[in-house]
């Protein structure tokens, strides 16, 4: 209820976030003008928040109750959101935004969409191009086993429409940090996975430092979801803590006390400290990004699964110039590699220091190496 207008309004999220009526042509025109305003000023693109929520069914019918609801699922899953999400008209809006973006040349539209893969693919476009990248969030909660990851990757690749470019997301302000979920050692392996898969990678601030579990005292909780449903483990504050830049007061983030506390180990885990440590998580990310930038196969090449057995995941990236192999140990025990190395194979980057290639992967280790010759096998 809004006192100023004497009217009720709909909000899918916080009351401070009223939903717009995207069925109103004037609303669409006004919001298109907002995009145009920023495109004119040179922005590279937009991340469109909860794109699949934008349009509601005509007449605003009630969503049905979820017959499988359990209290521990949280309040948002009490209803099946069949009338308030994923409406056909949202694709018209995405197509109009895409037409506008394309008129400015090299621009990018990313859609935040949490839907099954087969439905997610529709947001690349239905009849007309949609957003360039419908966010692919599968890595955020994927079972950390080789066969599960391989199956997910292959299914996603197979579902992509012709000409669609893939993307992978490893961190989000709405999800537990990867280092908190897997531990810091496997977070290094996850970084290698993210930055060697085919497609555009998205990582979340702080993941490149390996920020893991963060203590949020009860009196510092800010997340409305956690405040409304305390004790259910639904809070997202632990993923939203300030970026620790250095060892100074407030980790160099602000002269004032930040909205949320810093990660517990911020005096040691910060950007400045990791810049000076060649074995740090930040150093690994930089090595992987450099490797990706310098390798045509990693940048734009095809994907081919080599092995997915137990805790070992191996795949190739290749083009007509080179073939690069990635081998990942997803466990805390050593694993024998099921292939022989060409003596001239060249190590590009590893999660841990290594002078030579061998037939074993150490615990929690990943390696990227170039096979010799065009499309070498």
Mean pLDDT, range 204-213, rounded to an integer: 97
Cα angle value 338/341/344 (rounded, 5°): 170
Decide if 25-284 and 301-371 have a common fold: no
What does residue 278 show for φ and ψ, rounded to 5 degrees?
A: -70, -15
3-state helix, strand, coil split of the chain in percent (to 5) is: 30, 15, 50
Percent of the residues in the chain that have a pLDDT greater than 90, as a whole number: 92
Q: Is the pLDDT reported for residue 357 higher than 60?
A: yes
The CA R_g of the chain, rounded to the nearest whole Å, is: 23
pLDDT score, position 171: 96
Q: How confident is the model at residue 11 (pLDDT cuts 50, 70, 90)?
A: very high
User: Do the Cβ atoms of 315 and 323 come closer than 8 Å?
Assistant: no
Cα angle value 150/152/156 (rounded, 5°): 120
3-state SS, 71-129, equals HHHCHHHCECCCCCCCCCHHHHHHHHHHHHHHCCCCCEEEECCCCCHHHHHHHHECCCE
Within 255-313, residue ranges assigned H as helices are 271-275, 281-294, 296-300
Topology annotation, domain 25-284: TIM Barrel (3.20.20)
Q: Is the pLDDT reported for residue 365 higher than 70?
A: yes
Q: How confident is the model at residue 343 (pLDDT cuts 50, 70, 90)?
A: confident
Q: Is the pLDDT reported for residue 375 higher than 60?
A: no
* Residue 73 vs residues 11, 66, 229: alpha-carbon distances, Å: 21, 11, 10
Mean pLDDT, range 74-102, rounded to an integer: 96
Residues 289-323: tens digit of each pLDDT: 999 999 999 999 999 999 999 999 999 999 999 99
User: Do the Cβ atoms of 335 and 310 come closer than 8 Å?
Assistant: yes
Specify whether 49 is catalytic: yes
295: closest CA among 355, 365, 347, 338? 347
Residues 172-186: tens digit of each pLDDT: 999 999 999 999 999
Among the listed residues 49, 58, 264, 294, the single catalytic one is: 49
Specify whether 112 is catalytic: yes
Mean pLDDT, range 347-372, rounded to an integer: 94
Q: How confident is the model at residue 342 (pLDDT cuts 50, 70, 90)?
A: confident
Most confident stretch, 125-129, 258-262, 351-355: 258-262
Give the contacts of 122 (CB within 8 A, at least 6 positions apart). 91, 130
Cα dihedral sign for 258, 263, 268, 269?
negative
Residue 233: Cβ within 10 Å count: 10
pLDDT score, position 373: 55
Q: Is the pLDDT reported for residue 87 higher than 80?
A: yes
Percent of the residues in the chain that have a pLDDT greater than 70, as a whole number: 98
Q: Hey, where are the domains in the chain?
A: 25-284, 301-371
Give the contacts of 349 (CB within 8 A, at least 6 positions apart). 192, 284, 287, 288, 291, 367, 368
Among the listed residues 112, 207, 208, 365, the single catalytic one is: 112
Arithmetic mean of pLDDT over the chain: 96
Topology annotation, domain 301-371: Immunoglobulin-like (2.60.40)
Residues 107-132: tens digit of each pLDDT: 999 999 999 999 999 999 988 999 99
């Amino acid at each position: 209820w809004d006192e100023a207008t004497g009217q009720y309004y709909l909000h899918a999220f916080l009351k401070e976030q009223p939903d717009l009526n995207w069925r109103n042509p004037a609303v669409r025109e006004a919001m298109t003008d907002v995009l145009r305003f920023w495109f004119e000023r040179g922005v590279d693109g937009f991340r469109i928040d909860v794109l699949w929520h934008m349009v509601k069914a005509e007449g605003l019918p009630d969503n049905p109750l979820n017959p499988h609801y359990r209290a521990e699922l949280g309040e948002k899953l009490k209803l099946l959101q069949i009338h308030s999400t994923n409406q056909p008209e949202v694709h018209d809006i995405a197509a109009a935004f895409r037409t506008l973006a394309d008129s400015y040349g090299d621009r990018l539209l990313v859609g935040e969409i949490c839907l099954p893969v087969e439905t997610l693919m529709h947001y690349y476009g239905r009849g007309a191009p949609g957003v360039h990248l419908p966010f692919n969030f599968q890595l955020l909660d994927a079972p950390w086993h080789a066969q599960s990851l391989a199956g997910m990757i292959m299914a996603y690749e197979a579902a992509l429409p012709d000409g669609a470019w893939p993307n992978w997301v490893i961190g989000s302000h709405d999800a537990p940090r990867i280092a908190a979920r897997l531990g810091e050692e496997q977070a290094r392996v996850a970084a290698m996975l993210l930055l060697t898969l085919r497609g555009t990678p998205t990582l979340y601030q702080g993941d490149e430092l390996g920020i893991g579990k963060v203590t949020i005292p009860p009196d510092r909780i800010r997340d409305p979801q956690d405040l409304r449903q305390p004790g259910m483990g639904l809070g997202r504050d632990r993923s939203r803590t300030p970026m620790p830049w250095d060892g100074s007061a407030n980790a160099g983030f602000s002269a004032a006390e930040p909205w949320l506390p810093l990660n517990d180990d911020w005096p040691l885990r910060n950007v400045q400290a990791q810049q000076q440590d060649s074995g740090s998580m930040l150093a690994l990310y930089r090595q992987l990004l450099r490797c990706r930038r310098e390798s045509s196969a990693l940048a734009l090449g095809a994907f081919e699964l080599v092995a997915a057995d137990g805790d070992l995941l191996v795949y190739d990236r290749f083009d007509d110039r080179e073939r690069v192999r990635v081998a990942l140990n997803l466990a805390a025990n050593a694993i024998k590699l099921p292939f022989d190395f060409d003596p001239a194979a060249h190590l590009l980057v590893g999660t841990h220091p290594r002078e030579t290639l061998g037939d074993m992967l150490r615990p929690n280790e990943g390696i990227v190496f170039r096979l010799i010759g065009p499309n070498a096998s």
